[in-house]
Structure 1
Amino acid sequence: MADKVRDLRSALERLKTMEGQYIETDVEVDPMAELAGVYRYVGAGGTVKRPTKEGPAMVFNNVKGHKDARVAIGVLASRKRVAALLDCKPEELGKKLYHSVDNPIPPVEYQGAPPCQQVVHKAEDPDFNLYDLVPAPTNTPDDAGPYITLGMCYATHPDTGVHDVTIHRLCIQGKDELSIFFTPGARHIGAMAERAEELGQKLPISISIGVDPAIEIGSCFEAPTTPLGYDELAVAGALRNEPVELCKCLTVNEMAIANAEYVIEGEVILNVRVQEDQNSHTGYAMPEFPGYTGPASSQCWLIKVKAVTHRENPIMQTCIGPSEEHVSMAGIPTEASIYGMVEKAMPGRLQNVYCGSAGGGKYMAVLQFKKREASDEGRQRQAALLAFSAFSELKHVFLVDEDVDCFDMNDVLWAMNTRFQGDADIITIPGVRCHPLDPSNDPTCSPSIRDHGIACKTIFDCTVPYDQKERFKRARFMEVDPEHWL
């Protein structure tokens, strides 16, 4: 392996040493829809409209309108890449994150001049303009505007002083203004902004872009695994076995990630809501993880930007919403949350969890469950109920036996076709709050749905009854070492 990964640059250097995991181009690309259009064919994967595929990370060295900046995309758009960047096997990612949550290492303050402040632009400067300073792409021609899709938003609760880092969709709205979208009730920083508004205060916020992948993965945990007051930067510290280093912002009373490529400093303004597409009037926001372009919100909060700081020759990091990259960031923490809750309740039964591409990392989980004795019959369904408790946005759970590869959806569907009967093995839980970005979670689709964002959660039990295991043994091949023939 290449040198230790500590930031985006060292992550890219490691990918360069891995065959088929990194490419770059010097051909000029327009960040307005063209860049994402190119990467769709190269390696976006996920639920992006076909044709697409899972491919290498890509760096664009020549970005129109931004002569000193580069753009990296797809850094985490492969489970194999994420595993290499977190120093573990792909199938062990969820378990590694689970153990990191239980053994957090809090962040510390950087000593010296932080790399993210090598170049400073303050909003008071007459030529300050976010459009020129930050090469934020639009993913499609329908987007509301240029989006920062991988900004680590960091803020402090005005009452308790606890910190949190999360990823929100951020759209450039003017030369010193960003809109930020808070999913109602789902993100910790949204709760902080609401409390600050109740107190009549602005909420200082920093947005760090282009950071250690461990931070990007760790920031995607949600309650109950990481409740309000749990700083997810401590997960990244545990993953690296050393603390994340923070630095003081220059213009607001907040901290930022010291080795980020870019930091945007600002304040969430109280009592102001903006229309997300106020400049483009397309009616759309940006492509979201389920594979659809989400509607523009009329309830975005406003961030007044005070400064942009960055490294010399900075690298903007971006993500296509429905891509495999989102699956990595959302799905792996979801796997960790489910694994942790089930393991605590019934140790040794749950072998692994996969929250795959078809569900965008959030809507679907495959649980590989081992029934060790007759009394374990039925526990697999209890595990599915625990999975719904561990991650509220989960919609479908597939249960499979230990001989089924939960990471291979062909094998999962094989189990469904040979071990599952619809009249006996479907368990439905109607009328449960799920996720508003699923267009089928709407009263127009089912009379059981009372409000947009409510779903019928469903368990598909594709496991063999314990007393019939002998009837369902897979064909057993001779165990040989193929290297002799290869």
Structure 2
Amino acid sequence: MEKKVNDLRSALALLKSMPGQLIETDVEVEPKAELSGVYRHVGAGGTVQRPTKEGPAMIFNNVKGHPGARVAIGVLASRKRVAALLGTKPENLGKMLYESVDHPVAPILSKKPAPCQEIVHKAEDPDFDLYRLVPAPANTPDDAGPYITLGMCYATHPDTGLSDVTIHRLCIQGKDELSIFFTPGARHIGAMAERAEELGQKLPISISIGVDPAIEIGSCFEPPTTPLGYDELAVAGALRGEPVELCDCITVKERAIANAEYVIEGEVIPNVRVQEDQNSHTGYAMPEFPGYTGPASSQCWLIKVKAVTHRKNPIMQTCIGPSEEHVSMAGIPTEASIYGMVEKAMPGRLQNVYCASPGGGKYMAVLQFKKLTASDEGRQRQAALLAFSAFSELKHVFLVDEDVDCFDLNDVLWAMNTRFQGDADIITIPGVRCHPLDPSNDPYCSPGIRDHGIACKTIFDCTVPFDQKERFKRARFMDVDPEKWTKDAR
């Protein structure tokens, strides 16, 4: 019988049943830098500094300074694991998410006791201390402090009453204070906080940690696919075929994910900004998805924490910023956004999309495009333009034919080496706003760039011209099932 996944514990149970997908250790680990340093070698992958690799998820059962708590890392640091956790094949993930966005299942308020509230700690308690209650790691010795990297932030717009879930970088700043970084203009909860500030109001917020992986994947959609007012918890509901269950918070007027491992309840304070590294003074925040450690921001907002609730024997979930886990969370929703945009414009042409690991799931996409008629010549480049409009942070698009495996970068580079000419097949679009975390998107790197965060978006057309397809047929091999020869091989 297939294991049902609806929270972190059931997800870990499924991974445990899959050979080589989950390991545990009882050896004590220091949460500051050491835990991530270990996982870098075990299975981080992505854009993490080499040596690293894709490997199993890992549970640390003995975290220094946090008796009874465990830390899980790398749950989503493999496309194969994500597919298993969502009950599909790796190559179908983008299409599956695209369908889920178009058929949302809204969350509901549960009437049952919430597992996330089995144990309650209120900020008014004399021994309340976030550093002690939440085993949040620091990725490197340079980090501004302990970071909550997989906190599902949930808030409600003060005007519309519509709610949304988003992941933000959260740094513990004091015994009852967190800093939260809002990328300007990029995320829904940032817009809610800005509006609350205009009204002179605090914004109630819940931060759910250790949840169903469907929620973590679904929460990473961005406009225009999920505009302001679209609650991405409904994507998770569609993926599971049943609504996400919420509970009322204990100390603030907001809701949280009922079966989370931890919930932090608090309020975003208006007209207060926090220096992110005010305690460490390193000048850095944390490692970001491009593989570099980002600078500490002086413009983080402040969350005043009112309570921490959690399950008995809770499991903290974390990730390494530049790891394959970010590729899964950011890249698969991006694939869905691109696929949806192109499919609506030219049905049947785009076969698949892969937002590859070297781009951190954001900067690079490979589009597998099928030209059905002579009039489709040139439409592949139109598809690339649609991809840029579907996802503004995209920098490079590689176009390949249907006989090229878009998920195999060796095959993509083969197509580039045998079907691409630099003077004819590179299309550049200079001066377009892209992503501020790419250090090359800066006037220092190109005189044509007017401001930090602006890039030259580039299309690499590695497709064969329609009228020359006969010249580019791959060598044909006999299609056989190798099991007859390999099942008893020694």
**TM above 0.5:** yes
Question: What residue number does 1:348 align with?
Answer: 348
Is residue 260 of structure 2 the alignment partner of residue 260 of structure 1? yes
Amino acid at match of 2:220: C
Question: What residue number does 1:134 align with?
Answer: 134
Is residue 196 of structure 2 the alignment partner of residue 191 of structure 1? no
Is residue 5 of structure 2 the alignment partner of residue 5 of structure 1? yes
Unaligned runs of 5+ in 1: none
Question: What residue number does 1:440 align with?
Answer: 440
Amino acid at match of 2:136: A
Query: Which deviations, in whole Å up to 9, do the C-alpha atoms of 1:308-331 show, x marking residues without a partner?
Result: 000000000000000000000000
Structure 2 matches for 1:141-156, cutoff 5 A?
Answer: 141-156=141-156
* SS of corresponding position for 1:197: helix
Question: What residue number does 1:327 align with?
Answer: 327
Question: Percent identity between the aligned chains?
Answer: 88
* SS of corresponding position for 2:113: coil
On the 8 A contact 1:2/1:17 being kept in 2, the answer is no
Structure 2 matches for 1:198-277, cutoff 5 A?
Answer: 198-277=198-277
Query: Which deviations, in whole Å up to 9, do the C-alpha atoms of 1:285-319 show, x marking residues without a partner?
Result: 00000000000000000000000000000000000
Structure 2 matches for 1:321-470, cutoff 5 A?
Answer: 321-470=321-470
Distance in structure 1 (CA, Å) of the matches to 2:184 and 2:6: 33
Distance in structure 2 (CA, Å) of the matches to 1:345 and 1:70: 47
On the 8 A contact 1:142/1:284 being kept in 2, the answer is yes
Amino acid at match of 1:395: K
Amino acid at match of 1:26: D
Distance in structure 2 (CA, Å) of the matches to 1:16 and 1:173: 35
Query: Which deviations, in whole Å up to 9, do the C-alpha atoms of 1:13-62 show, x marking residues without a partner?
Result: 00000011000000000101000000000000000000000000000000
Question: What residue number does 1:182 align with?
Answer: 182
Is residue 58 of structure 2 the alignment partner of residue 58 of structure 1? yes
Distance in structure 1 (CA, Å) of the matches to 2:317 and 2:480: 45
* SS of corresponding position for 2:204: strand
Query: Which deviations, in whole Å up to 9, do the C-alpha atoms of 1:178-225 show, x marking residues without a partner?
Result: 000000000000000000000000000000000000000000000000
Distance in structure 1 (CA, Å) of the matches to 2:187 and 2:123: 28
Unaligned runs of 5+ in 2: none
Distance in structure 2 (CA, Å) of the matches to 1:18 and 1:284: 38
Distance in structure 2 (CA, Å) of the matches to 1:290 and 1:98: 25
Cα drift, residue 478 of structure 1: 1.3
Distance in structure 2 (CA, Å) of the matches to 1:148 and 1:4: 27
Distance in structure 2 (CA, Å) of the matches to 1:314 and 1:411: 43
* SS of corresponding position for 1:216: helix
Question: What residue number does 2:123 align with?
Answer: 123
Distance in structure 2 (CA, Å) of the matches to 1:205 and 1:480: 56
Question: What residue number does 1:87 align with?
Answer: 87
Query: Which deviations, in whole Å up to 9, do the C-alpha atoms of 1:102-121 show, x marking residues without a partner?
Result: 00000001112100000000
Cα drift, residue 481 of structure 1: 1.8
* SS of corresponding position for 1:309: strand
Q: CA RMSD in A?
A: 0.5
Question: What residue number does 1:20 align with?
Answer: 20
Question: What residue number does 1:306 align with?
Answer: 306
Distance in structure 2 (CA, Å) of the matches to 1:400 and 1:101: 26
Distance in structure 1 (CA, Å) of the matches to 2:481 and 2:58: 36
Distance in structure 1 (CA, Å) of the matches to 2:392 and 2:480: 44
Question: What residue number does 2:479 align with?
Answer: 479
Amino acid at match of 1:316: M
* SS of corresponding position for 2:247: strand
Distance in structure 2 (CA, Å) of the matches to 1:161 and 1:450: 39
On the 8 A contact 1:57/1:72 being kept in 2, the answer is yes
* SS of corresponding position for 2:397: strand
Cα drift, residue 68 of structure 1: 1.3
Amino acid at match of 2:189: I
On the 8 A contact 1:101/1:235 being kept in 2, the answer is yes
* SS of corresponding position for 2:259: coil
On the 8 A contact 1:290/1:322 being kept in 2, the answer is yes
Amino acid at match of 1:338: I
Cα drift, residue 480 of structure 1: 1.7
Distance in structure 1 (CA, Å) of the matches to 2:353 and 2:248: 39
Distance in structure 2 (CA, Å) of the matches to 1:444 and 1:262: 43
Distance in structure 2 (CA, Å) of the matches to 1:438 and 1:162: 32
- Count of equivalent residues: 486
Distance in structure 2 (CA, Å) of the matches to 1:162 and 1:114: 22
Cα drift, residue 2 of structure 1: 4.4
TM-score, normalized by length of structure 1?
Answer: 1.00
Structure 2 matches for 1:283-302, cutoff 5 A?
Answer: 283-302=283-302
Cα drift, residue 154 of structure 1: 0.3
Distance in structure 2 (CA, Å) of the matches to 1:389 and 1:77: 27
Question: What residue number does 1:165 align with?
Answer: 165
Cα drift, residue 448 of structure 1: 1.3
* SS of corresponding position for 1:417: helix
On the 8 A contact 1:31/1:137 being kept in 2, the answer is yes
Distance in structure 2 (CA, Å) of the matches to 1:287 and 1:483: 44
* SS of corresponding position for 2:428: strand
On the 8 A contact 1:2/1:13 being kept in 2, the answer is no
Distance in structure 1 (CA, Å) of the matches to 2:75 and 2:299: 31
Question: What residue number does 1:281 align with?
Answer: 281
Distance in structure 1 (CA, Å) of the matches to 2:483 and 2:143: 51
* SS of corresponding position for 1:32: coil
Cα drift, residue 167 of structure 1: 0.2
Query: Which deviations, in whole Å up to 9, do the C-alpha atoms of 1:201-255 show, x marking residues without a partner?
Result: 0000000000000000000000000000000000000000000000000000000
* SS of corresponding position for 1:485: helix
Amino acid at match of 1:416: M
Distance in structure 1 (CA, Å) of the matches to 2:208 and 2:484: 50
Cα drift, residue 454 of structure 1: 0.5
Cα drift, residue 390 of structure 1: 0.5
Distance in structure 2 (CA, Å) of the matches to 1:83 and 1:478: 29
Amino acid at match of 1:153: C
